[in-house]
Structure 1
Amino acid sequence: MRYLIVLLVLILLSCTPKKDYNVLFIISDDLTTTAVSSYENKACKTPNIDQLASEGVRYTRAYCQYPVCGPSRASFLSGYYPHATTTFGYVSGRKNIGDQRQTWPQLFKDNGYFTARVSKIFHMGVPIDIEKGGDGADDPVSWNEKYNSQAAEWQTEGEAELVQGNPEGSIQRKGGNVMTIVKAVGDDLVHADGKTAQKASELLRKHKNERFFLAVGMVRPHVPFVAPESYFKPYPYTAVGLPEKIE
Structure 2
Amino acid sequence: MTTAATFEELLSAVRGPAGARTVIVTGAGVSLASGIPTFRGPDPGAVWANDVTEKGTRAYFKREPHESWLWYLKRFELARGAKPNDAHRALVAWEQWQARHQRGFLLVTQNVDTLHEQAGSRALVKVHGSLDQARCTRLHCKQGPPRGTVPMAEVDFGPLFADPSPETVPRCSLCKSKLRPHVLWFDELYSEHDSYQFDHVLRSAKQATLVVFIGTSFSVGVTDAVLMRAMLADAHIYSIDPSGVSHSPKIRVVAAQAELVLPPLVAALSD
- TMscore range, shorter length: 0.3 to 0.5
TM-score (norm 1): 0.34
Structure with bigger gyration radius: 1
Larger relative contact order, structure 1 or 2 (CA cutoff 8 Å, min sep 6): 2
